[in-house]
Structure 1
Amino acid sequence: MAVSRRNFCGLVAFTPIALSAVTAPASATTERRPVVKLFSSNAPAEALSSTMAARVLPSDAVTMAPGNYLFAGQGFDCNRAGLYRFWDGGSSPIQSRLVMTKGGLYEFISGASWHHEHGTEDEQADFQAMANAGRTHKWRLRCGYIAGLMVWMLPQFGYQARKINLLTREERNGVDDGHIIFEVFHENKWKAWDLTNGVYFTLNGKHLSAAEIIDAGVLNCTRVRLDADDRYGASVAGKFCLGSYVDMMMNTPEEVDAWFARIFQSWSVG
């Protein structure tokens, strides 16, 4: 089962566990063994017992259907929802693919959260191209772009989704006055997800919408981690570097709480 650890916010996060590859025949020479990991809040899938039932890993999209896939000559069971990463043990780019299954919304979004950090390098108008940039590296996107990408992607799996604009009611400073997250209509209600921070919000075990978070007071809600990533990379030269900002302004639990309290004050559908 998944192993949990604490992140810088003191919140529970899940550590990925490696999937075992099919054992190769003994050889006089040492061969590189592929490494495949499932990143999600569920237990990892297990390796296939045979490569005969596996299909070739798709190369044209960042998402793939559940199934058994062939990678580096070995078969792997990729029938659970989440993010799969495939490494051949050498210098080739690590391949990443997201899988959605029936009932796998939380695992899919957890995988997307694992695969995102703040940045600008992958931002573009074409959502398909933006999504596919994630085949060989983490998406580097600002909040509006990662929220927009999820709102574009999730309806392909039958989910209704929308972007949510958050705005402070305090004096504006031109830097951290607002934020963009997204909501998914699930189990007869809207549920909010913040992939920039890698969290969703609950109160008494109930997953909340943006309106419910603000009504309850964000600091009265539990922030549930979607991943074990610190989330914040440096942006390219000439762009606002969120990594530096976080080091300066969100380096303690108290500073993180202050940021959430400032931002989660009003909301609108965007």
Structure 2
Amino acid sequence: MSGMANARRVFQMVLALGGVLFLSCGQEVQAEADGPDAWRVVDVASEDVLNVRMGPGTDYAVIGEFAHDARGLQQVTCVPLVPREIFFEMSEAERAALPPRWCLMESADNSTRGWVAQRYLGEDFAVTGEDAAEQAPDPAQEAERLVQRLYRDHLQSMTGNMTSPLALERAGDFFTAPLAERMASEGLQADPLLDAQDSDITNLDIALDEERPMFRGLITVNADFRNFGQSRRAVVRLRYEKGEPRVIRIEHEAWTFE
């Protein structure tokens, strides 16, 4: 069965189940393999908390809470369970029809465990001490992962399940400070990631440039995808800013966002 056929089959199964995967009492579910090591709470006001519920939805009772700035959260699973490769093969309409995503999370000290809406979760890459020395991330690979997360979150934001990484409160996590400030002050006239007013994105593939991934301090990551069946490529240039990779420029066939 082709990848797209698989995607549509899974999509239909998700809709048939109402978008909810029920877990039997005591059953353990493995975390998604392609996720980060930890998560943090985002988009929650400093005077508020993130409710932790008994099940994946607001109809379930609140059984705990995470602080507005909680970090180091561990993800057990999320529903609907749509693997990344299948998500990227879905059409925009299919992604928009998916129910809101909820994740079963556990606090860093294991004291709180329950379901929260995924839109309030962001990846937590902070490592210190011995952990930092052991991981010693490769700069180019870190940049590649940042671009993968940028596009993934952007597509998910189109379904209403997440705040867009182009939004003021998140742009600084992906773009250099000057570019994030320009986005905030001038706004966006066009989609800098997809170069299209209307989109139906499938077959997204993001990888380091094979010929010259790093050159004179710049890292190049290519984002290849199909929009309404037409092959497109965005060339993303990054550099390190305060120890983190950040997007400095995105090049399209007819224009450049910088």
TM-score by length of 2: 0.32
Normalising to structure 1: TM-score of the pair? Answer: 0.31
